[in-house]
Amino acid sequence: MKAPASPPRVLHAAAEVFPLVKTGGLADVVGALPKALNAAGLHTRLVLPGLPAIVDALLHQKTLFTFGPLFGAARISVRLGRLPFSHVETYVVDAPYLYRRAGSPYQSPEGHEWPDNLQRFALLGYVAAHLAAGEIDPGWTPDVLHAHDWHAAMACAYMTAHPATAAASVFTVHNLAYQGLFPHDDFRLLGLPAGFMHAQGLEFHHQVSFMKAGLKYARRVTTVSPTYAREIATSEFGFGLDGVIRGRGRDVSGILNGVDCQVWNPRTDTALATRYDADDLAGKRACKRALQVELGLEVHDDTPLFGVVSRLTSQKGLDLVLAALPALLREGAQLALQGSGDAALEAAFVAAARQHPQQVAVRIGYDEALAHRLIAGADAVLVPSRFEPCGLTQLYALRYGTLPVVRRVGGLADTVVDAGPGVWPADEATGFAFDAATPAALEGALRRVLALYRQGEAWERVMRRAMAQDFSWDDAARQYATLYREVVAAGR
């Protein structure tokens, strides 16, 4: 009898990781998925750029390899350590010239893209590819390199250019709208053969596209929800790359993101005023009162409180919320919002809060603990996105008994069952969904929210059903493990 194959070794390459560096849901995924894969019996490691918060936090670091100059950095070291909290083994690419900066991973403190982002993220992909080839850490060579979003996508191109690499590659699209586009002439900085710069390679409308590096050269492509995998093959959601995606055929699939149940759990969440669960919702009511006090809203148990935790962008449909807000306030509801982004949206929400201080509260910026308190304290959370690869906010909300109000796209369509007429009595509904990206469609959904909210017992039944949903990482980890075995068996 043939012995069973050992579990594949998997190296994840990404630009951010929760809780050290986070600009969005990518960090949550990278913080949770490797941990879930290790728990499922795989051997998983990470490779991350040497951003200050990562270099300073990584435990038990030891230098494995030093080289340079490359991509403008005179000296680069690759070190192996462990993440705090999860203890996942992690390589850090320490290149102070490229990474040791204030601001976000991608922008200066003033909000401008770093002019050398091509070099910064090419280096991440270059190191990931050479780890995959066993040249940096010969004691541990992965069977699969899993690159996340455009920041790590060049790893797939560098692996293709390195014929000795035996590892297979997987590339996950977290958000196709952000593609890593750079001037055509900057291709020379990548150190790749000229044959990579054409329409079947990295060239995209006379630019270099890092996203295409993943889409064209990875053995398999995944997205963060099944519906989004289908959507990005259409012109409406494909951002000019739908033809490339259709050309990959069955190599493209969707695996729904999960929730880190240790981080997002109302029974154990230390950020909350009172902890609670589906069997005792008194704590949720206490969280609502505490949030109203904290944000300066009128304190009233029977006032429906809507929450928003989001980047303030057109993608997220926050302009629809602004347009629907007057009708919502006329119904006596409240809105609590945390987020930042488009200056005009920020100003409009701040103005609404000044005009209606007991009904609207706005906090510009992001505070992780406040996000937990807001999701726990709200009755419903608004996620009216124009497109949404997966969405994590609605998953967190379901876990906390805060009913999501979503547009039926991407992962939102995959995770929220609409409490429409004739649906919720059948014990299926977990939230509210609408179709058109218009204020009228959102207002129609909000009217249904308010109608059900006034039926207290029925509302609580849907709350408990929402909290009973299982969106842990366990199922996603099993699906990824199957995918890894398939790509290893098929060869690179």
Same structural domain, 252 and 382: no
Q: Which of 88-97, 468-477, 483-492 shows the lowest mean pLDDT across its residues?
A: 483-492
Same structural domain, 448 and 486: no
Same structural domain, 371 and 222: no
Same structural domain, 253 and 294: no
Q: How confident is the model at residue 439 (pLDDT cuts 50, 70, 90)?
A: very high
So what's the pLDDT on residue 4? 44
What are the structure tokens assigned to 456, written together? Answer: 């207290």
- For the chain, give the percent of residues with pLDDT over 90: 92
Same structural domain, 314 and 426: yes
Domain count, the chain: 2
Q: Which of 45-54, 230-239, 404-413, 418-427 shows the lowest mean pLDDT across its residues?
A: 418-427
Nearest Cα residue to 414 out of 188, 204, 240, 255? 255
Same structural domain, 458 and 352: yes
So what's the pLDDT on residue 94? 98
Average pLDDT (205-234) is 98
In the predicted model, what is the mean pLDDT of the chain? 95
So what's the pLDDT on residue 9? 97
Res 492 pLDDT > 60: no
Instruction: For residue 186, give its domain range.
Output: 9-258+473-490
* 233: in domain: yes
Average pLDDT (181-210) is 97
Q: How confident is the model at residue 164 (pLDDT cuts 50, 70, 90)?
A: confident
Same structural domain, 455 and 402: yes
* 267: in domain: no
* 276: in domain: no
Same structural domain, 293 and 146: no
Residue 490's CB is within 10 A of a number of other CB atoms, namely 10
Digit-coded pLDDT (tens) for 290-316? 999 999 999 999 999 999 999 999 899
* 265: in domain: no
Q: Do residues 69 and 75 lie in contact, with contact meaning Cβ atoms separated by under 8 Å?
A: yes
Digit-coded pLDDT (tens) for 95-105? 999 999 999 99
* 1: in domain: no
So what's the pLDDT on residue 422? 54
Average pLDDT (421-427) is 56
Digit-coded pLDDT (tens) for 351-389? 999 999 999 999 999 999 999 999 999 999 999 999 999
Same structural domain, 34 and 142: yes
So what's the pLDDT on residue 1? 32
Same structural domain, 188 and 108: yes
The whole-angstrom separation of Cα 264 and Cα 271 is 10
Q: How confident is the model at residue 322 (pLDDT cuts 50, 70, 90)?
A: very high
Res 275 pLDDT > 70: yes
So what's the pLDDT on residue 5? 66
**CATH number assigned to the domain comprising residue 438:** 3.40.50.2000
Res 180 pLDDT > 90: yes
Q: Do residues 124 and 47 lie in contact, with contact meaning Cβ atoms separated by under 8 Å?
A: yes
Q: What is the pTM of this model?
A: 0.93
> For residue 385, what are the contacts with CB-CB under 8 A and spacing of at least 6?
315, 316, 317, 391, 406, 407, 409, 410, 412
The whole-angstrom separation of Cα 98 and Cα 476 is 34
Same structural domain, 379 and 454: yes
